[in-house]
Amino acid sequence: MTNLINTDQLLQFSIPQLLRWRVNESPNRPALREKDFGIWNAYTWKDYYDYVRKTALGLKRLGLSKGDTIAIISDNIPELLFVAIGAHSVGAISAGIYQTSMPHEIAQILQYLKVSAVFCDNQEQVDKVLEVRDEIPLVKKVIFEDPRGMRNYYSDDWFVDIRDLYKMGDEDHEAQPELFEQMVDQGKADDVCHLCLTSGTTGLPKGTMMTHKNYINMGVRITEVDPLEPTDEYVSFLPFAWIGEQMNSFGVAMATGITINFPESVETAMADLKEIGPHFMFGAPRIYETIRSEIWLKIDQSYWFNKLMYNYFIKVGLSAADYRMTGKPMPAGLKFKAWLGKQIIFRPLINQIGLLRLRRAYTGGAALGPELFTFYQAIGVNLKQIYGQTEITGIAYMHRDGDVRPDTVGKPLPGTECKIAEDGEILSKSASVSPGYFDLPEKSEELLEGGWLHSGDAGFIDDQGHLVVIDRLSDVMHNKNGDMFSPMFLENALKFSPYIKEAVIYGDKEDFVACLINIDPIVVGKWAEDRGISYTTYMDLAAKKQVADLIMAEVIDVNSRAEKEHFKIKRFALLYKLLDVDDGELTKTGKIRRKFVRERYQNLYDALYDESITTKKVEASFQYQDGQTTSVKTSIDFYTVKGS
């Protein structure tokens, strides 16, 4: 790529202009691939551009123009990119909304972002928009991709089949062949092209204004550190509304020319990943935690000899990982044993989960425990931490090969400046920094005060130039004695246990640390079945005394590794339900909404800090995806950790 065009030239392009350049350079190379009815169908870069053209001209005929916004509520499909970049081509702005959003959430976001049109992939999402039609008068058109179940909608011109949109675009291109190119030419690198929603840990998400340059700069800079080949494969399974997916589909793919692969459905994503065998992968910590649980489950179900071999070679792998991550020469004996373990244990294992061709894997969006990092490096998956936020296009810091330190998030990307404010806040500068929040000038000023992006995270730069993130400034806690501790650090230490799916740490201005714990229903369920412990529901399983004893041992193990006494967990309870996005306890990207969880389970919090309470009756409330709620009466036990 650098032989054909330099970085400065790339950063002058809009996304449609860069797409056009890709077509001129490699028109027949696969750009997108989609699995449909079990068959992978490819779109070349020329096909990609043709669909963007007909979509753009169709949107223009529908009335979409410069400065207007089109929202996208869709699973990951090629049409999603056709619509987004088609909108960019006419000077309009795209905005992603999570597919799991409820109708009232969608209405709030559409109102806030002043959306003119909506693209939905199927009837389920169309019906959500239809339900709140009276609340969104600015929405003039709803475009849909999947016609199944939509027969009765064709009589209402509020709805548009994307095939009809393409037809309009083709007609207008035939009538005015130069129009599309003229529109693309008018694009500017600094134009706002997308509104990316923040995670919304404290309320309604904010619409972060992203420019073409933001995405392209991020894509260029990350590949300066970790180069990709145009023949490399990427599997698109992260929600498009999250910056983590946009930075790959808008930034990395356009900057490098890699192929984006779209799974057949959300449910088949991991199976389809195995078929593609991607060369690089990005995911939130929850994905890697889930994969690790699957690996442990496979080992647990294996023959005794395989377990024996795994247990021996995982220790070898952990020792070898220390050398690989630091770039130090490995002793010959350890190098041979690590190679042997890779060939007979880990290579077949990672092949089963589709990661055999993987050169690098990245995680971001939340902190990943050091133990989990080392685990993946031990089995031969080159997992590296990245750090950033929506407002800096997802990535600003990352590990380098041979310089992976599990307790840090690496060094700044090329072109990124970093400094630490007096209160410990991490501040950054780069061409990937957003110009601010949509329609929120005061929040934008706070975000970019003094010309630096204010992350809201506390951290420091170590003596090796690596950034260490402690926690959110607002989440850092102090006990009654004023001793500081990071709840996120302790939560990650707990979640390294295969039996613990989620943990919520408390202790701010209290005498001791306490927590609520979600068990992993798959791993703990298998553990219970192996021991003849019968159960019916998650609530029933979490209430078993044997399960509490199992988790007690895990908490004691975490306490044994605590550097300071005030880091130790004294009391815990096993929550009767999984923390859930639909209940508002987690953000769409899986982050704990700490304040909300504290308020929702205030009665449990109070019981944790009343050491005389060992059991408490509660009324459990559940909300389903369709908005219905139900309540169940149960009791929950509280445990004091031995030796604390």
Per-residue pLDDT, averaged over 596-624, amounts to 88
Strands of 39-44's sheet in order across: 39-44, 30-36, 259-262, 233-235
Q: Are 459 and 468 in contact (CB under 8 A)?
A: yes
Per-residue pLDDT, averaged over 117-125, amounts to 97
Per-residue pLDDT, averaged over 296-316, amounts to 89
How open is the CA angle 397-401-407, to the nearest 5 degrees? 55
Domain boundaries, the chain: 7-278, 282-472, 477-640
Q: Are 398 and 386 in contact (CB under 8 A)?
A: yes
Per-residue pLDDT, averaged over 68-97, amounts to 97
Q: Which pLDDT score, from 0 to 100, does residue 619 have? A: 82
Q: Which positions ≥6 away from 156 have C-beta within 8 Å?
A: none
Q: Tell me the C-alpha distance between 49 and 66, whole Å.
A: 20
> Which range, of 252-266, 296-310, 324-338, 356-370, averages the lowest pLDDT?
356-370
Q: Which pLDDT score, from 0 to 100, does residue 23 have? A: 96
**What is the CATH code of the structural domain delimited by 282-472?**
3.40.50.12780
pLDDT in tens, 214-262: 999 999 999 999 999 999 999 999 999 999 899 999 999 999 999 999 9
Q: Which pLDDT score, from 0 to 100, does residue 258 have? A: 95
pLDDT in tens, 477-503: 889 998 888 898 899 889 888 899 999
User: What pLDDT band is residue 8 in, cutting at 50, 70 and 90?
Assistant: confident
Is pLDDT of 627 > 80? no
Is pLDDT of 203 > 70? no
Q: Which positions ≥6 away from 318 have C-beta within 8 Å?
A: 374, 375, 378
Cα 635 from chain centre: 34
Is pLDDT of 296 > 90? no
pLDDT in tens, 439-488: 999 999 999 999 999 999 988 999 899 998 888 888 888 899 988 888 98
DSSP-derived secondary structure for 442-501: HHHHHHTGGGSEEEEEEEEE-TTS-EEEEEETTT-EE-TT--EE-HHHHHHHHHTSTTEE
Q: Which pLDDT score, from 0 to 100, does residue 3 have? A: 42
Q: Tell me the C-alpha distance between 510 and 29, whole Å.
A: 60
Q: Are 392 and 433 in contact (CB under 8 A)?
A: yes
One-letter amino acid of 613: I
Question: For the chain, what percent of residues have pLDDT higher than 70?
Answer: 97
Q: Which pLDDT score, from 0 to 100, does residue 63 have? A: 96
538 three-class SS: helix
> Which range, of 177-181, 455-459, 568-572, 587-591, averages the lowest pLDDT?
587-591
Q: Which pLDDT score, from 0 to 100, does residue 592 have? A: 86
Neighbours of 36 (CB within 10 A): 10
Pairing, β 500-506 against β 513-519: antiparallel
Per-residue pLDDT, averaged over 616-625, amounts to 75
pLDDT higher at 364 or 146? 146
Instruction: Convert 561-576 into a string of H (helix), E (strand) and C (coil).
Output: CCCCHHHCEEEEEECC
Q: Which pLDDT score, from 0 to 100, does residue 565 have? A: 85
pLDDT higher at 470 or 69? 69
User: What pLDDT band is residue 18 in, cutting at 50, 70 and 90?
Assistant: very high
Provide Rg for the chain, Cα atoms: 25
Q: Tell me the C-alpha distance between 131 and 112, whole Å.
A: 18
49, 152, 441, 469, 523 from 416: Cα distances, Å: 32, 52, 24, 17, 41
Q: Could you check whether 7-278 and 282-472 share the same CATH topology? A: yes
Is pLDDT of 4 > 60? no
pLDDT higher at 566 or 393? 393
Is pLDDT of 200 > 60? yes
Instruction: Convert 219-249 into a string of H (helix), E (strand) and C (coil).
Output: HHHHHHHCCCCCCCEEECCCCCCCHHHHHHH
Pairing, β 467-472 against β 141-144: unpaired
Q: Tell me the C-alpha distance between 34 and 351, whole Å.
A: 22
pTM to 2 decimal places: 0.82
Strands of 417-420's sheet in order across: 417-420, 425-429, 453-461, 467-472
Q: Which pLDDT score, from 0 to 100, does residue 31 have? A: 97
- Which residues face 471 on adjacent strands? 458
Question: For the chain, what percent of residues have pLDDT higher than 90?
Answer: 71
Q: Tell me the C-alpha distance between 366 and 363, whole Å.
A: 8
Q: Which pLDDT score, from 0 to 100, does residue 201 have? A: 55
Is pLDDT of 370 > 80? no
Pairing, β 207-211 against β 233-235: unpaired
116, 143, 246, 555 from 105: Cα distances, Å: 17, 19, 21, 37
User: What pLDDT band is residue 1 in, cutting at 50, 70 and 90?
Assistant: very low
Q: Which pLDDT score, from 0 to 100, does residue 202 have? A: 54
Q: Tell me the C-alpha distance between 249 and 282, whole Å.
A: 12
- Which residues face 333 on adjacent strands? none
Is pLDDT of 625 > 50? yes
Nearest to 572 by CA among 632, 519, 633: 519
Pairing, β 192-197 against β 93-96: parallel
pLDDT higher at 435 or 593? 435
Instruction: Tell me which CATH homologous superfamily contains domain 7-278.
Output: ANL, N-terminal domain (3.40.50.12780)
User: What pLDDT band is residue 532 in, cutting at 50, 70 and 90?
Assistant: very high
Q: Which pLDDT score, from 0 to 100, does residue 2 have? A: 38
**Fold type of domain 477-640:** GMP Synthetase; Chain A, domain 3 (3.30.300)
> Which range, of 129-133, 294-298, 540-544, 634-638, averages the lowest pLDDT?
294-298
Mean pLDDT of the residues in the chain: 91
Beta strand extents in 248-372 (DSSP E only): 259-262, 280-283, 360-363
Q: Which two three-digit tokens encode residue 195? A: 């509104």
